[in-house]
Chains A and B, each alone.
Chain A
Amino acid sequence: MDRRGFLALATAGVAALSASGRASGSNARPISPPQIPGRGFAPTPARGPLKVHPANPRYFTDGSGQPVFLTGSHTWAGLQDMGIPPLRPFAWHEFLDMLHDHNHNCTKLWIWVQAEGGPWTDDKIQFAPLPYLRTGPGVALDGKPKFDLTKFNEVFFERLRARTLEAGERGIYVCIQLFLPGASEKRGGPCDPWPGHPYNAGNNINGFDGEKPGTSTVDLDRAEVRALQAAYLRKVVDTVSDLDNVLFEAVGEGGRRDWDWWVVNYVHDYEKSKGKQHPVGLTGGGAESLAEMLASPADWVGAGWNDGQFKTDPPAWDGKKVSILDTDHIWGHGGTASWAWKCFVRGHNTWLMDPWSPLPGRPCGEVNWLARPGAPERDVNRRKHWTWEPVRMAMGNTRAYALRVNLTSMTPRSDLASSEYCLANPPWEYLAYLPEGDEVTLDLSSSGGPLAVEWMRPIEGDIIKGGTVNGGTKLDFAAPFNGAAVLYVKKG
């Protein structure tokens, strides 16, 4: 794939990095989503590691036995500070506040293994802290001490643990992204992070060259590479394995099937020696198709942009694996409030790839956050762009309902609503989404007796009572406001 092709595809879904300076405060603004049912609760820390819910495998459950719907923003600098030097620390607590204020309960912590560079930029962006210690002797290609691949950087792992703990105290699950082959290696692009990679032979004191010859990428087939990666995986697991609010993402947008599955199996197997087992997931948009991911040993999957109509019409999910759809793998930079609602009522969990801290560096080619046909001035790589806040709010509103309904029994029932977006547990409760508002016919044939009706504005989250109706038939509901709407009908 040539540079342009790579950037259009890879960066389309990949990574980003934050201009840490901006992240640290200058873009900050108070956000006050409305207080609605299901929001504003005191956060409840996880009560046991997540496992697939036995009765409704579209969702995880914790020690409580209740299904847990996962949704939230994540941003590239959530764990490591990144940007053009001098690096400024990411405002982690402000980010946690934002997640809490938006009723989010899940984020991702991105792990960058390279010391500098990214495939989307020709700026020498840097990352800190890094997983390996830079002890020297000798100078790496970036002019700093070489890495010792036998020594982990405790600053990195302490931060990993501390942030995971702090998130957990706020009721937020953390998905730790274990590898990032698409963003830490070259893939043929001219803006090459390989010179900053610790597995580059010029960068470590161990004489270790992890490169697949001539590719500037890690050779995932070599046993010694996997041995090194296994040590890293053990260290990550050792760092957080006692925490309940952890998930793992094997690899951001895929290495390839054999290696991906090895990572999943390795973490599973290693965690068996530990007290707690955490879900491990695979995400699309890269090397594996959805069908392959569904056949994998992973506990959850995230379909990608190349897996079908996941942007505009996410299919009703059967729960073969837990599905966590991530705008990162579908748009790259992008997402809509409608998408968040459609995903929810079709049985998916959701993540927003949020430029809360923008992806740093001057692009070295076409990137998907800047000019597009019809939008030459486009720049969505900033926290305040109009794209983001509606999605953040909509996701929090979906969670508000996830907390109110009996999610254990709710399944996608496109057949029950004329809009074809409906999560329901007949005859007890129905949650329909109307992408264009106006009206919806809901099949309440199996629900005799009175049912309470309420509407929610999908973004603002305000609720409008809709009186009661008598079920036992199909009813044609009229939305009491303009635009998209959420309809909740509950027995009793």
Chain B
Amino acid sequence: MNRRRFLSHAMANGAGLMVFASRARAGKKAAMSQSVPGYDPKPAPATGPLRVHPTNPRYFTDASGKAIFLTGAHTWANFQDIGVAPLQRFDWPAYIDMMVKHNHNFMRFWHWMQAAYAPWTDEKMLVDPLPYLRTGPGTAKDGLPKFDLTKFNPVYFERMHTRIAYARDRGIYAAVQLFQSFSERKDGGPCDPWVAHPYNGANNINGFDAEKPGTGMVDMDRSDVREVQAKYMQKIIDTVQDLDSVLYEVINEGGNKDWDWWVVNFMHEQEAKKGKVHPVGLTGWNAETVEQMRNSPAEWISIGSDAGAFWKTDPPAWDGKKVSVCDTDHLWGHGGTPSWAWKCFVRGHNTLLMDSWDAIPGRPCGQVNWAARPGYPTRDLNRRDDWTWEPVRKAIGNTRTLAQRVDLAAMVPHDELASTRYCLANPGVEYVVYLPEGDEVTVDLTRASGEFSVEWMQPVDGTITPGGTVPGGGKPNFAVPFPGAAALYLHKS
């Protein structure tokens, strides 16, 4: 795939890329986020590593035994600082504040392996800190000392632990991204981070060249490569294994089935030796099929737009074969809608927003999906305050508000119970129904008895409007008491 095709394909179609933070903006805009109604300003930390809920495997559970709905915003610079020099520090506390105010409880914790450059920019994007120490002797291709792949950088791992613990204390889970496909060359693209990759033979003192010849990509089939990678994974396990709020993501939109599964199994086996096993997930946009991911040893998966554009507009009801985390990163790249967030929720998925809280840095070296599109030549989604983001941030927080109110362990997608076909229900007990266009909805309560309390929620604002009561036993046609999309919550009085 040539550079242009790669960029328009990978980035436009969901490619999960990364981004960068305009730090100056980051600080200034921190105040723009608004609290979601019902959010908990002092959320409780996780109580035990997540495991798949035994009776409702669409969700995880912790030591409490309750089903846990995961949702939140993640951004490309939330672990390592990235950007064009001079690098500025990502405002981690402000970002966590934003998540808490929006009632979020989950993020991906981004990892970049390269010291500089990226597939989407021809500028020299820098990354700091990095996992390996740059001890020299000798100079790498970026002009700085070469890496010693036998020596891990304590700054990197200390930050990893510190930030995840900080997030944990605010009730937020973090999926540690173990590997990053965008740290390598993308299908021959000229904007090439392989130049600054520590596994590039020119960049380390260990004489280690991991490149699949001529590709600018790590050769995942080689045993010596896996050996180096295994040590890196072991170091991560050693770093965060004590934290209950951890999940792992094998690689952002990359790998291949054999290697992906090797990583998952390695993490499982090594963590089992330590006593705590954290969930491992696959987000294999265009690298693994849905069925491959569903049949893998992973605990959670993220399905991308390569599986069909309907995942943006009509995500199917989920059966719970794995925990599903729908991530806008793998669907839009830059994008997302509040309606998507609600549809995913009532169809049994967890959700993540790829948030331009800190913009992806660097001047694009080709077509990118956050800039001009047909019909929108001035489009620039790569900024925190674009109108796209805040409604989605708020909507995902509002879905969690309801997730926390219902007995999620018993809630299953029941398309057939609502005329809109968006319904998460424990029939006879409680129902969450989404109305993408508002107006009215018929809910099948024929198998329910007793009286139900009715509540409406405005999907973005989160405002709740009481709707009286209705008796079970029929198919009431509910009328929405406000314009536009609506969420309906029915529960036993």
Q: Complex: how many Å from CA A242 to CA B437?
A: 44
Contact A480 B379 (CB under 8 A): yes
Which residues on the A side are within 8 Å of B456 (C-beta)? Answer: 374
Task: Answer yes or no: B316 CB below 8 A from chain A CBs.
Answer: no
B454 contact set on A, CB distance < 8 A = 373-374
Given A418-B309, A466-B376, A477-B375 in contact, is the A374-B391 Cβ separation under 8 Å? Answer: no
- Asked if B467 CB lies within 8 Å of chain A CBs, one says yes
Residue B483 is within 8 A (CB to CB) of chain A in the complex: yes
| Contact between A477 and B467, CB atoms less than 8 A apart | no
Q: Is A312 an interface residue (CB 8 A)?
A: yes
1/0 contact trace for A366-402 toward B, CB 8 Å?
A: 0000001111111000000011001000000000000
> At the interface, yes or no: A303 with Cβ under 8 Å from chain B?
no
For residue A87, give the distance in angstroms from its CB to the closest CB of chain B: 31
| A435–B335 alpha-carbon span in the complex (Å) | 17
* Residues of chain B contacted by A437 (CB below 8 angstroms): 337
Nearest residue in A to B466 (C-beta to C-beta)?
A376
* Contact for B376 among A372, A377, A479, CB less than 8 A: A479
B478: interface (CB < 8 Å): yes
**CB distance B375 to A375 under 8 Å?**
no
- Is A55 an interface residue when CB atoms closer than 8 A count as contact? no
Residues of A within 8 A of B478 (CB): 372-375
Chain B residues numbered 420-477 whose CB sits less than 8 Å from any CB in chain A: 436-440, 454, 456, 467-468, 470, 476-477
Q: Which residues of A contact B480 (CB under 8 A)?
A: 374-375
Which B residues are in CB contact (< 8 Å) with A338?
A: 437
Interface of A is mostly: loop
Partner of B375, one of A372, A373, A436, A480: A480
Determine which of A311, A435, A477, A481 lies in contact with B373 in the assembled complex, contact meaning CB atoms within 8 Å.
Answer: A477
B163 to nearest A CB, angstroms? 32
B401: min CB distance to chain A, Å: 19
Tell me the smallest distance from the CB of B334 to a CB of chain A, in Å. 10
Chain B CB within 10 Å, residue with most, of A387, A436, A478: A478
Within 8 A of B (CB), among A273-306: none
Instruction: Report whether B376 and A373 are in contact in the complex, using a CB–CB cutoff of 8 Å.
Output: no
| Residues of chain A from 443 to 492 with CB closer than 8 A to chain B in the complex | 453, 455, 466-467, 469, 475-483, 487, 489
Contact, CB under 8 Å: A373 / B309: no
Interface residue ranges of B346-380 to A (CB < 8 Å): 373-379
Counting CB contacts under 8 A, is B282 at the interface? no
Q: In the assembly, what is the distance between CA of A375 and CA of B454, in Å?
A: 9
Tell me the complex Cα distance, A336–B484, Å. Answer: 9
In the complex, chain A residues whose CB is within 8 Å of the CB of B439: 311, 334, 336
Contact A436 B374 (CB under 8 A): no
B375 and A455 contacting across the interface, CB-CB below 8 Å: yes
Tell me if B377 and A481 are in contact (CB < 8 A): no
Q: Is A438 an interface residue (CB 8 A)?
A: yes
Would you call B481 and A436 a contact (CB within 8 A)?
no
Interface residues of A in 300-325 (CB under 8 A from B): 311-312
- The contact of B488 among A374, A435, A453, A480, by CB within 8 Å, is A374
Q: Which residues of B contact A489 (CB under 8 A)?
A: 375
**Chain B interface, >50% SS class:** loop
In the complex the two chains form, what is the Cα distance from A372 to B438 in whole Å?
14
Looking at B373, B477, B479, the one whose CB has the most chain A CB atoms below 10 A away is B479
Complex CA gap A478/B379 in Å reads: 9
Whether the Cβ atoms of B309 and A477 lie closer than 8 Å is no
What is the bound-complex CA distance between A480 and B375, given in angstroms? 8
Question: Bound state CA distance, A473 and B478, in angstroms?
Answer: 43
Are A374 and B375 within 8 A (Cβ)?
no
Which of B440, B478, B482 counts the most chain A CB atoms within 10 A? B440
Q: Do B373 and A336 touch across chains, with their CB atoms under 8 A apart?
A: no
| B468 engages A438 (CB within 8 Å) | no
Say yes or no: A375-B479 contact (C-beta < 8 A), given A436-B313, A453-B375, A477-B376. Answer: yes
**How distant is the Cα of A372 from the Cα of B443 in the complex, in angstroms?**
13
Asked whether A373 and B337 contact (CB < 8 A) given A334-B439, A435-B436, A476-B374, the answer is no
**Interchain nearest-CB distance for B347 vs A (Å):** 15
Q: Nearest-CB distance from A455 to chain B (Å)?
A: 7
Cross-interface CB contact of B479 among A374, A418, A441, A477, cutoff 8 Å: A374
For the complex, what is the distance from the CA of A373 to the CA of B455, rounded to whole Å? Answer: 11
Question: Are A478 and B374 also in contact (CB < 8 A) when A334-B439, A374-B479, A374-B480 are?
Answer: yes
> Contact between B337 and A436 (Cβ–Cβ < 8 Å)?
yes
Within the complex, the shortest CB–CB distance from B394 to chain A, in Å, comes to 12
A487 to chain B, nearest CB (A): 6
Residue of A453, A455, A476, A489 most packed against chain B (CB within 10 A): A476
A30 to B480, CA, bound (A): 27
Known: A372-B479, A378-B481. A478 touches B376 (CB 8 A): yes
Jot down 18 A-B pairs with beta carbons below 8 A, ordered by A.
Answer: A311-B439, A372-B478, A373-B467, A374-B488, A376-B467, A377-B481, A438-B335, A438-B337, A466-B374, A466-B375, A475-B375, A476-B373, A477-B375, A479-B375, A480-B375, A482-B387, A482-B388, A487-B375
Interface residues of B (CB under 8 A from A): 12, 309, 312-313, 335, 337, 339, 373-379, 387-388, 391, 436-440, 454, 456, 467-468, 470, 476-484, 488
